[in-house]
Structure 1
């Protein structure tokens, strides 16, 4: 994985989400030690619960293997299970995704961008969610560590 802002001094960022979990075995411990934070907690929109395919040739997702035909369908499959879990908790998929990242450790800060107020409100609602160990098991079963298709770019 690449750091998001190479050459920048101070804290760096690395993608970490339910879909992008390849860092858990060896990179995450080093990131924790060095103060590197996670970004991309929605895996470029895949697990936001509001998926929209790339619309322009300049969209990053047009070139990323995880968004190519066959891979994107497999990567979206956990979202429906997460949607059922979210509905049972009266939350959204995006809120579960944020709450899951936040539950991974006090040293992990979920970073997400919002273009609209409703997106911001939805994201902020995630911080009212306290996931139980049982919730974490359900989420983990929906999106196991090595479940994504197509490498992250």
Structure 2
């Protein structure tokens, strides 16, 4: 497994996003298969494990914790805080962002208990709280580093100004945001600031929430409780326009003799050694396919072809609903 450098933290160049093991993509996941997938990832050298306290309202951290029992020292473990949830009879919804120092400290202690560990390697603020100065939130996070409960700090879905203000309080090791062939905003918005400061980038949803796999053909492919049904990119005319874009990736992948997923991940891996994508999966078969991207070397002409097939702003529709978009880039 190749290694990437996020600030002073060395991680496997491909990580494993664990959100889908608990929520969002329909069909109740099989916990035994999820744990087997985590074990297979570690065995293959994919040791950068990503979770969050809001995933499954804490359940995801518990699953990850059970999987890591006896193997904690083999992984770089990342989790996040910042969302408070509201429960109903049928679902748990993140409704409030809370970056207060008091909540930060309490949230970390709860995460450590669910994970069954005494520290996490990378702790992110999941979204910036507009009501709390970023200096106050990061100051509280820094106190957890001093207490030995966290090794490195990260932020998620922030802009360059926020990164600079946070980094002035305590070194920020990584920023996590959506980045892929069909979400290229970070290239102009935040990535230049990160590289100026020596901060790594962790792309989530590097396969466009499954769209770049080439396996989706209709919104009807999604179960009723799949979150993608509510996202603009997966609806109506947007879906078909985006499907036409993905067809080009499928063609390029076939010419290369790889899968569309491997091609999309190889494109991200080619963006620099300070980039470590975390494709999510809850099945060993998809994990094996994703890890095959490590061995895919793209020529300058192939990279140019992908850039031409997926230029910035080519994708139809927002990443989130208006409410979700109000929480990103802050």
- TM-score in terms of structure 2 length: 0.43
SS at match of 1:77: helix
> 2:206–2:279: 8 Å Cα contact kept in structure 1?
yes
Shift of 1:35: 3.3
Work out whether 1:147 is the aligned partner of 2:268: no
2:6 aligned with 1:6, yes or no?
no
Q: What is the DSSP-based 3-state SS (H/G/I as helix, E as strand, rest coil) of the residue aligned with 2:245?
A: helix
**In the aligned structure 1, how far is the partner of 2:125 from the partner of 2:187?**
17
- The number of residue pairs the alignment matches comes to 150
Q: Does 1:37 align with 2:202?
A: yes
CA-CA distance at 1:80 after TM superposition: 1.3
Question: Are the equivalent residues in 1 in contact too, given 2:201–2:274 (CA < 8 A)?
Answer: no
Report the RMSD for the aligned CA atoms in angstroms: 2.0
Query: Equivalent residue for 1:102?
Result: 269
Instruction: Give structure 1 regions of 4+ aligned residues with deviation exceeding 3 angstroms.
Output: 31-36
Distance 2:285 2:229 in 1: 26
CA distance in 2, matches of 1:35, 1:85: 28
Of 92-101 and 22-31, more deviation after overlay is shown by: 22-31
Name the stretch that deviates more: 7-16 or 121-130: 7-16
- What residue number does 2:216 align with? 51
State whether residues 37 and 109 of structure 1, in contact with CA within 8 Å, keep that contact through their aligned partners in structure 2: yes
- The answer on 1:82 being equivalent to 2:82 is no
Q: Deviations over 1:65-92 (max 9, x none)?
A: 1111100111121221111111111100
1:24 matches 2:203:
no
Q: How far apart are 1:22 and its partner, in Å?
A: 1.6
> C-alpha displacement at 1:54, in angstroms?
2.3
Unmatched tracts of structure 2, length 5 or more? 1-123, 129-137, 142-152, 156-175, 321-330
Q: In 1, Cα distance between the equivalents of 2:243 and 2:286?
A: 20
**Greater strand share, structure number:** 2
Report the alpha carbon displacement of residue 18 of structure 1 after superposing the two structures with TM: 0.5
Residue 71 of structure 1 corresponds to which residue in structure 2?
A: 238
Q: Deviations over 1:16-60 (max 9, x none)?
A: 01011122112222344343421110111111122263211x322
Report which structure shows greater RCO (CA 8 Å, sep ≥6): 1
Identify unmatched segments of 5+ residues in structure 1: none
Q: Which protein is bigger by CA-based radius of gyration?
A: 2
Give the 3-state SS of the residue equivalent to 2:203 in structure 1: strand
2:291 to 78, 100, 124: 124
Give the Cα separation in 2 of the matches to 1:80 and 1:108: 26
Q: TM-score, normalised by structure 1?
A: 0.88
